[in-house]
Amino acid sequence: MTLSIYGRLPLVMSYQREISKRNILWASRLLGRRIRFTACSASMLPGVPAAERWSVIPNFVDETRFLSTSRVADNAPLLFLSRLDYIKGAHLAIDAARQCGRPLILAGNRAETGPEREYFDRFIAPELDDQQIRWVGPVDDTAKIKLLQTARALLVPIQWSEPFGIVFAESLACGTPVISSPRGALPEIIRSGEHGYLVEGPAALVQAIHDVAGIDREACRARFESRFSRRVVVDQYETLYKLHAGQAGH
């Protein structure tokens, strides 16, 4: 930390979640032109200090591990892949899947105590029948990739301003369309109608499930490769470092 503050090298501070305005002001006053900032989505930036020093660089997924599938079975399940918390919308995914008569796999961890455990016990557990609606618990990367590659769509109708949500980029990497809400970073990740659907409300969610078969899975993979692959994101950071070093006089 001492070397960072008193050295001469340009610095970049990256934010993946909530931005601390106090920290930004402190770093800007202490380091001046030496410091630049990045956020993983533009949705995080309104109202941040030192706006002229910010760049948006998304998170990445390893394109050599997450491989796409061009087709899935007609009866392929919908997939909810996230924490089983209210803000992730698991209850909405269940309701929509039931209305469409589509199987739904829920994968992810649940809270063991507190309000989120009460949410699970009240709204999720009673719906699990191990047939149409199944919960498989937390999954590792190998199982996650297999689930994504064989899913009809990723169905995670978030109910909050998601700063990014790496699972959405992982889904595109596997060629799997995304159905979610137009909140937070989602409009930066998904073009609704091209790579899935971003909708609000139960009726629109059901319609999106019906329509998602028309989404081109190869277009989903192409979107991923152009925006969220490791190669593309590393190039953006390297470009930023070189530009920043030049502007800082190094």
CA–CA separation, 179 vs 201, rounded Å?
12
Task: Return the number of other C-beta atoms located less than 10 Å from residue 57's C-beta.
Answer: 19
> How high is the pLDDT of residue 242?
87
122-179 tens-digit pLDDT: 999 999 999 999 999 999 999 999 999 999 999 999 999 999 999 999 999 999 999 9
Q: Dig out the tokens for 138 from the structure.
A: 């937390």
pLDDT at position 2, please?
A: 43
Domain 78-227 has CATH 3.40.50.2000: yes
Instruction: For residues 208 and 5, give the distance between their C-alpha atoms in angstroms, rounded to a whole number.
Output: 51
Q: How many CB atoms lie within 10 A of CB 29?
A: 11
Cβ within 8 Å of residue 181, ≥6 positions away = 89, 157, 158, 159, 198, 199, 200
Output the pTM of the full model. 0.92
User: Residue 29: what pLDDT?
Assistant: 83
* DSSP collapsed to 3 states, the chain: CHHHHHCCCCEEEEECCCCCHHHHHHHHHHHHHHEEEEECCHHHCCCCCCHHHEEECCCCECCCCCCCCCCCCCCCCEEEECCCCHHHCHHHHHHHHHHHCCCEEEECCCCCCHHHHHHHHHHHHHHCCCCCEEEEECCCHHHHHHHHHCCCEEECCCCCCCCCCHHHHHHHHCCCCEEECCCCCHHHHCCCCCCEEECCCHHHHHHHHHHHHHCCHHHHHHHHHHHCEHHHHHHHHHHHHHHHHHHCCC
Q: pLDDT tens digit string along 11-22?
A: 888 999 888 888
What single-letter amino acid sits at 99? Q
Among 107, 166, 116, which residue's Cα sits nearest to residue 134?
107
- Regions of the chain with pLDDT less than 50: 1-3, 250
The domain segmentation of the chain, as residue ranges, is 2-59+229-247, 78-227
Taking the C-alpha atoms of residue 181 and residue 193, their distance in angstroms, rounded to an integer, is 13
Residue 1 has what pLDDT? 41
